[in-house]
Amino acid sequence: MKKEFYNIANLVTKNSKILDVGCGNGELMKYITENISKDIRGIELSKSNVQKCVEKGLTVIEGDAEKDLRQFPDNSFDFVILSQTLQAFLDPENVLNELLRIGKKAIVSIPNFGHWKVRLHLLLKGTMPVTENLPNEWYNTPNLHMCTIKDFENYCKQRNIKINLKNLKFQNLFSELGIFILEK
Amino acid sequence: MSEKDKIKTLLVKKPLKLDCGQTISDFPLAYETYGKLNDKKDNAILVFHALTGDQFASGTNPITKKDGWWNYALGPGKAIDTDKYFVIAANVIGGCMGSFGPSDINPKTKKPYGTNFPVITINDMVNAQYNLLEYFKIEKLFSVIGGSMGGMQVLQFVSNFPNKAHTAVPIACTASHSAQNIALNELGRQSIMADNNWQDGFYEEQNKQPDKGLAVARMAAHITYLSKAGLQEKFGRKLQERDDLKFSFDADFQIESYLRYQGSVFVDRFDANSYLYITRAMDYFDLTKKFGGNLSKAFEKSDTRFFIISFTSDWLYPTSENREIVIALNAIGKDVGFVEITSDKGHDSFLLNVPDFLNTVRNFLNKSYEKI
Average of per-residue pLDDT across A9-29? 97
Residues of A in CB contact (< 8 Å) with B are 41, 47, 50-51, 54-57, 59-63, 71-73, 76
Which chain A residues have a beta carbon less than 8 Å from that of B336? Answer: 59, 61
Considering CB atoms only, which of B331, B364, B370 is closest to A54?
Answer: B364
Which chain B residues have a beta carbon less than 8 Å from that of A62? Answer: 338-340
Q: What is the 3-state secondary structure (H, E, C) of A72-126?
A: CCCCCEEEEEEECCHHHCCCHHHHHHHHHHHEEEEEEEEEECCCHHHHHHHHHHC
Q: What is the pLDDT of residues B220-274, one digit of tens each?
A: 999 999 999 999 999 999 999 999 999 999 999 999 999 999 999 999 999 999 9
CA separation for the pair B269, B51 (Å, rounded): 13
Residue B4, pLDDT score:
72
Q: Are strands B305-311 and B141-147 parallel, antiparallel or unpaired?
A: unpaired
Asked if B148 is an active-site residue, the reply is yes
Q: Are residues A55 and B370, on separate chains, in Cβ contact within 8 Å? A: no
Q: Which domain holds residue A63?
A: 3-183
Residues of B in CB contact (< 8 Å) with A are 305, 326-327, 330-331, 333, 335-342, 356, 359-360, 363-364, 367-368, 370-371
The CATH number of the domain holding residue A75 is 3.40.50.150
Q: What is the pLDDT of residues A34-61, one digit of tens each?
A: 999 999 999 999 999 999 999 999 999 9
Average of per-residue pLDDT across A96-122? 96
Q: What is the pLDDT of residues B186-221, one digit of tens each?
A: 999 999 999 999 999 999 999 999 999 999 999 999
- B126 and B155 in contact (C-beta within 8 Å)? no
Average of per-residue pLDDT across A65-69? 96
Q: What is the pLDDT of residues B7-39, one digit of tens each?
A: 999 999 999 999 999 999 999 999 999 999 999
B1: confidence class by pLDDT, cuts 50, 70, 90: low
Query: Shortest CA distance to B219 belongs to which of B159, B267, B282?
Result: B267
Cα–Cα distances in Å, from A160 out to A73, A96, B18, B182, B302? 22, 13, 58, 51, 39
Domain B3-177+287-371 grouped into CATH 3.40.50.1820: yes
Residue A10, pLDDT score:
94
Which chain A residues have a beta carbon less than 8 Å from that of B360? Answer: 51, 54
Q: Which residues pair with A106 in a beta bridge?
A: A80, A182
Strand residues in chain B grouped as ranges (E) = 8-12, 16-17, 23-24, 27-34, 44-48, 74-75, 80-81, 86-90, 105-106, 111-112, 141-147, 165-171, 305-311, 336-341
**Residue B366 distance to chain A (closest CA, Å):** 8
Residue B290's identity, in one-letter code, is K
pLDDT of B347 > 70? The answer is: yes
Domain boundaries, chain B: 3-177+287-371, 182-279
Which chain B residues have a beta carbon less than 8 Å from that of A55? Answer: 363, 367
CATH class, domain B182-279, is mainly alpha
Count of structural domains, chain A: 1
Residue A167, pLDDT score:
72
Residue B12, pLDDT score:
98
Q: Are strands B111-112 and B105-106 parallel, antiparallel or unpaired?
A: antiparallel
Average of per-residue pLDDT across B45-56? 98
Q: Are residues A54 and B337, on separate chains, in Cβ contact within 8 Å? A: yes
Q: Are residues B326 and A71, on separate chains, in Cβ contact within 8 Å? A: yes
- B140 and B163 in contact (C-beta within 8 Å)? yes
pLDDT of A172 > 90? The answer is: no
pLDDT of A168 > 80? The answer is: no
CA separation for the pair A113, A132 (Å, rounded): 12
CA dihedral B183, B186, B187, B193 (to 10 degrees): -170
Of chain A, the percentage scoring pLDDT greater than 70 comes to 99
Catalytic residue among B148, B227, B313, B368: B148
B315: confidence class by pLDDT, cuts 50, 70, 90: very high
Q: For all residues of chain B together, what is the average pLDDT?
A: 97
Which chain B residues have a beta carbon less than 8 Å from that of A57? Answer: 363, 367-368, 370-371
Number of H helices, E strands in chain B: 10, 14
Considering CB atoms only, which of B337, B341, B360 is closest to A59?
Answer: B337
In eight-state DSSP terms, residue B120 is -
- ipTM > 0.85 (yes/no): yes
Q: What is the pLDDT of residues B61-108, one digit of tens each?
A: 999 999 999 999 999 999 999 999 999 999 999 999 999 999 999 999
Query: Shortest CA distance to B189 belongs to which of B48, B99, B283, B315?
Result: B283
Residue A134, pLDDT score:
86
Q: Which residues pair with B307 in a beta bridge?
A: B337
Residue A169, pLDDT score:
78
Catalytic residue among B49, B252, B347, B349: B347
pTM over 0.90: yes
